[in-house]
Each structure stands twice: as structure tokens, then as C-alpha cells.
Amino acid sequence: MSHPVSPLAPKHQPALPPIAGVRLATAQAGIRYRGRTDVLLVLLDPGTRAAGVFTRSKCPSAAVDWCRETLRGGQSARALVVNSGNANAFTGLKGRDSVRLTAEIAGKAAGCAPGEVFIASTGVIGEPLDATKFDGVLAECAGRTGPGAERWTEAASAIMTTDTFPKLATRRVSIGGTTVTINGIAKGAGMIAPDMATMLSFVFTDADLPAPVLQALLTKGVATSFNCCTVDGDTSTSDTLMLFATAKAGNAPVDSVEDPALAEFAAALDDLLAELAQLVARDGEGARKFVTVEVGGATDDASAHRIAMSIANSPLVKTAVAGEDANWGRVVMAVGKAGEPADRDRLAIWFGDVRVAVEGARDPGYDEEAASAAMRGDAVTIRVDLGLGAGRARVWTCDLTKAYVEINGDYRS
């Protein structure tokens, strides 16, 4: 099932440079649809270390369980397999057996142990995944993997489900005077309300960093990126974000996230993750407007975040944005229902640069035309000040249109 490319898609896709120690290939395995690229194989050189954060859903997919267990067993990574079309979630023992078989097939193709293979799946929930479809396909993929820019675009496309465009980002920075590269891909358009992770996203670098440092960087970075992105308020069973470091850059050893030599890399990683998260919001199912929600004046940052997510996840706020209706009353509703400290008589609300409410009432200088004009662009900012403290948060979402209902009503058709 394909959909028109989102009007919020980037005008140009970045050409991602090669990462030493990373080779990619894609193929058609017929997981759910015929004639569609639906599997990605990434081969990683010996010495590659991994870190990951995953969904906190109480109904995680078999692939999420496998990745968690594999990371606990050691952070060595030699291969990554990602399929679209079937999430392999809520599939019981069959799902676990499918993941195990996938790892065995990929291990043979990559020349490594199954415990060095990481796996992610996305697509329909509740249907068994036939892992025998990978037999032969992954071996063929392994024989033609490569590092080129076109491989990264193919990789980002292979993991798409209802996405309308591939999501890629890259950064080049320095660690102690040594240049390192970071490349990232992501997928996601619906069932998007990450909780400690994202939909599916994979980040690769040639930096030489130990696994504990990678894990600390990723855990910190996700808090201000993917966990600040929502499309529909629904957290997926399959949310997976992984970071792989091949150590090929040859930078000086870094043993702590507090090392000043790591500051530029950490900032670049945070920025790359934020870019990918925003691309997900821009590709929200049926989206026509990219929405930034900024909350200030809360009692603390955590409270500000919960209020911002309450606004961003409100169907009434999102449909008002879709209708270009400057209905600030719905924002008041979303603040009030968040369950966080708030004082009606201190509340101020802006659409873009236009203040529409202040001190618990409509702004005395309210201008309907100016407020409506702020809603007409393809990017809308909603800003709230609670007047209670210094807590701040920013989250990204999109509007809610009839197309979202159509896409999800037809999802399994």
C-alpha cells in the first residue's frame, strides 16, 4: 500500500557518506507484499560495539526481546537484519522461534555467531513471521553489500511501512582532533508516541567508543529527540533505536561521557537524532502540517514535557490545526487535563508570534485574522507559558486529517 509523498517531506535527500566497517544491502523477501523491497541486511566489521533503547510497551515484539537479551550477553555486533511488512509481535513461541531462525540464517550469511546479530521488524501485529523466507535471501544480500550513498537511501526505503519518504541524516565531527562520521536512518509514520525509544532507527559511526559510553549517549539523546515526537499517541510494540560504532576512525580512547573530547560528538548525535525525529513527525500519516509545541514556565522540565505531550496528542488540538482554526480553547483543555501543576489565571498561549490568551482570558489585543494567519502555513508553532517556574519542553507532532483515518482504516486490506 503506497501513499502520496508527504507535502512536508524534505525537498532534497542527503547523500550519506560511507562509514568504514559498515556495508548494506536490501532485497525482496516477500514478507507480506510481492514486488516490494522489505528486508535490510547490514554487515558490521569485527570490533563493532552496540547500544540500544527499546519500547517500554508491556507487549513488546519478539525482535525487541531478542535485541535486549543480545545486548545483555555482550555488546559485540556483526550484523543487523530489519524487515518491513510484519512486526512479529504478539506471535508467542512462533515469534521467538522465528527470531532465532533469522539470527541463525543471518549469522551464516555474515560469518558470525547468532548472538552477534541484531534484529528488528515492523508492520502488521499478530501475524506469524515466516523466517524461512530469509533463507537464501540474506546470503545473497551478504554477497553484494556495499557502503555507497545509494545503499543508505535503499536501506531507509526498505524499512518503510506507511512512510511516504525515506528518512536519513548525517554528521561529520571531531573527537580529539580525529574526524568521525555519524549516519542515521529511521522509519515511522503511524503508531508513534515513543517511550524510551522510537519506531525504528539505526545510527552508525566509525568512532572508537566503548559500549557503556555509547549507551549513555543514546539514552541521553533519545530524551530530547524521539521521546519528544508523537503522531497519534500510540506507542508501538516494536520501537527500537540502536547505535553501532565500528571503531575504524582511530580516535584516541574515550572512557567517559564526561570527557571534553566527546562534547562535539555528543552534540552532533543529539542533533542527528532530533532531525530524524522531526522527519518522522513530518511524515505522520495524512499529515499536512508540522507542529512544534513549546511549553515554558512549568514547575520543572518533566512537568513541561507531559503538558506539551498532552497538547501534541490531543485529537481536538490536532484537528483544529488541520482546519487552520486558531482554537486556543482546545489548548487550554489539553493543559488542564495533563494532570500537572497549572494555574488558569497565569496561563498565556501563542499561535506563532500571536498571543491569543493571557492571565486566564482572551488576550485584550486579540486579532482573529492574525491568529488565523499563523495557522495557514505548513509549519505551526503552539507556545504555552504556565507562569509557575523555569520548566521547559519542546515536542513535535503533526495535524490530524481525514487521510489518517483512511490510511489506518485500510491498513490490513
As annotated, the active-site residues are: 198
Contacts of 157 (CB under 8 A, 6+ apart): 26, 37, 166
Q: Which cell is 212 given?
A: 557503556
Nearest 5°: CA angle at 154, between 53 and 24? 65
Q: Strand 348-351's sheet: what is its strand order? A: 361-362, 354-358, 348-351, 379-385, 290-298, 391-398
Provide the total of helices (H) and of strands (E) in the chain, helices listed first. 11, 15
Q: Is residue 11 a known part of a binding site?
A: no
Cβ proximity of 83 and 29 under 8 Å: yes
Q: Is residue 359 a known part of a binding site?
A: no
Nearest 5°: CA angle at 232, between 228 and 237? 80
Q: Is residue 198 a known part of a binding site?
A: yes
Residue of 268, 231, 155 lying closest to 408 (CA atoms): 231
Half-sphere exposure for 85 (CA within 13 Å, toward CB): 22
Q: What's the rounded Cα separation, in Å, for the pair 180 and 176?
A: 10
Residue of 88, 90, 92, 102 lying closest to 131 (CA atoms): 102
Q: Is residue 187 a known part of a binding site?
A: yes
Q: Is residue 413 a known part of a binding site?
A: yes
H/E segment holding residue 30: none
Q: What's the rounded Cα separation, in Å, for the pair 182 and 248?
A: 12
Q: Is residue 408 a known part of a binding site?
A: yes
CA dist 76 to 73, 211, 259, 381, 407, Å? 9, 9, 23, 42, 39
Q: What's the rounded Cα separation, in Å, for the pair 183 and 354?
A: 38
Residue identified by cell 494555574 is: 343
Q: DSSP per residue over 46-64, as a string?
A: TT-EEEEEE---SS--HHH
Cβ proximity of 66 and 52 under 8 Å: no
Binding-site annotation, residues for substrate: 161, 187, 198, 285, 408, 413
Binding-site annotation, residues: 161, 187, 198, 285, 408, 413
